[in-house]
Structure 1
């Protein structure tokens, strides 16, 4: 029998590269991989379902589960994780010196349902007593105008959400004081320009994020991998095949990071950072699979519900292909 011909959209991560470049072949699949920026992959998959398999925003995927068609099913492989304390930017003149100063302020975020702002709002609420509904959110393009939510959302009345003008960008509005803070995934250009008008809320974010992990054990998940539901329903074995191949690819990345004969990354002290990560987070510091990530997933699903994105608080088991819940992670 001929291999099933499928397409996958995903960014060029070290941990997915083996599958993307074809050196690791999923069992029974002839895979065509497209290396695309995450925003493009998400937009094309959510709006037009262009790929059979795709990297997907965890938040967007969870929101999609409340749509009538339930177009996707996920596997517990997580190509993107990120501590997001570093992703809170404030206007230097807004009087925001600590998290509680955000209360009552104007907060930008490119999309309310983006995974990064969901984590940021949740952490600010849990760790710093900044209620999700204590601010007004302004949504739109960060660097280019006219960005809209990839999925239509309906929020409870206590969440105040306003779109910015069609010619506005959040990066410029933050610099100019039209918003007081920005929760985002990409560092804004107005921070990079070093004008002094935009700074991080947590300049010493590395120490704060390490402490957060040490106390909570949470390494936030940003993205998962989804399969179009009709592909999965007609070929249930695809979920395990893709999951297995992606984990083999990540295992190779671990091996590359441990290599001392020559550096495989362009970071001079990569080995020191790798050993430090292992020491603080364990040998499998970027874990895949369901059980190892249950607490992280439960926390995110609570945030999604508390922030008005989920109509009910989902159980983590509900969001993945059942075959992968106890799948062996190589």
Structure 2
């Protein structure tokens, strides 16, 4: 490592764990980061199509698919900037007759992109937990080839999947309220260069969630499987690592420090509830755990489950190995 820091461009979506890096309160030793705040949809499209940034968040499913097809531009760090129980956020149209997962059979489902991680998690959980297969639904995808992540990874609809592209004149939100779709897996209304929907379906009385109590379903699934689905990882351009291999662990340490800073802020805020006993012992015990853990040792079963889902859903011809995805120096973290 030379005495002068190297300069790297980095793209992140802002949340409490990335904000310290974006604002500069946490720095990576030996590295001067030039940050861009971007919506994930746009960020992933720009990275997969144009390789705009040296470091960025990345759709974990798109990375798996790209690597399975020989794309070696990126090495992942076991840093997971976003996790969510996306199947609990599936939206259904009132009047569609959908009251339980089984009712999705034969229905019209809108997705921003068929291969995106959140949608893969939804399909995998529906199949393995409720017996609902992807080929039992009809799929409608909002992103066209000019803005899709799949256009850069060779996406084609898997066998037996009925998939149509939504015309540019409309979008998922409009089709839902006009009765042309019955359900949505992962609805995006935030403005960015990729997604088109703008209607606030969450506050529309014509739309509700598939699960009456999403929090209870998330807790049930987590208790049963121990899986907190991972959506995004962080990638570094391999060309950078060939010149500066030390960047991997320096960046990893910086992301850990940023997460620790976010945790300290959270615990400081919660002290006002803990001190007077407003949060019980179960809450105190839960706060000692780390559901957002980084590193492969803590998350290997989650990553391997997603790799399996990508393969069994026909999006990769083979199961990708962890050593193909992650930088070699992170495999034992």
TM-score normalised according to structure 2 size? 0.88
Structural mapping, 1:1-330, within 5 Å = 1=2, 2-140=4-142, 148-152=147-151, 153-186=155-188, 189-194=199-204, 196-260=205-269, 279-280=285-286, 282-327=288-333
Rounded to whole Å, the distance in 1 between the matches of 2:330 and 2:27 is 18
Contact 1:278–1:284 (Cα < 8 Å) also in 2: no
16-25 vs 249-258, greater mean Cα deviation:
16-25
Give me the whole-angstrom Cα distance separating, in 2, the residues matched to 1:243 and 1:57. 18
Compared CA separation, residues 173 and 206, structure 1 to 2 (3 A):
same
| Structure 2 unpaired stretches of 5+ | 190-197
> Following TM superposition, by how much is the alpha carbon of 1:172 offset from its aligned partner in structure 2, in angstroms?
1.1
Query: Could you tell me how far 1:20 is from its partner in structure 2?
Result: 1.7
Change in 2 beyond 3 A, CA 1:275/1:225: farther
Q: CA deviation at 1:111?
A: 0.3
Counterpart contact for 2:87–2:121, Cα < 8 Å: no
Once residues 180 and 96 of structure 1 are traced to their aligned partners in structure 2, the CA distance between those partners, rounded to angstroms, is: 8
Distance in structure 2 (CA, Å) of the matches to 1:274 and 1:315: 42
Report the Cα offset of residue 276 of structure 1: 6.1
1:248-300 C-alpha deviation (Å, 9 max, x unpaired): 1101111111114887xxx9xxx978986664585212111001001111111
SS of the aligned residue for 1:65 comes to helix
Instruction: Provide the C-alpha distance between the structure 2 equivalents of 1:38 and 1:309, rounded to a whole number of angstroms.
Output: 20
- Gaps spanning 5+ residues in structure 1: where? none
State the 1:305 CA deviation.
Answer: 0.6
Q: Report the CA distance shift for 1:158/1:148 in structure 2 as closer, same or farther (over 3 A).
A: farther
Matches of 1:43 and 1:174 in 2, distance apart?
25
Equivalent pairs counted in the alignment come to 317
CA RMSD of aligned residues (A): 2.4
- Structure number with the bigger relative contact order (C-alpha 8 A, sep ≥ 6) is 2
Whether the 8 Å contact between 2:112 and 2:188 is mirrored in structure 1 is no
More deviation, 185-194/115-124: 185-194
**Are the counterparts in 1 of residues 61 and 310 from structure 2 also a CA contact under 8 Å?**
yes
CA distance in 2, matches of 1:323, 1:252: 24
Superposed displacement of residue 313, structure 1:
1.5
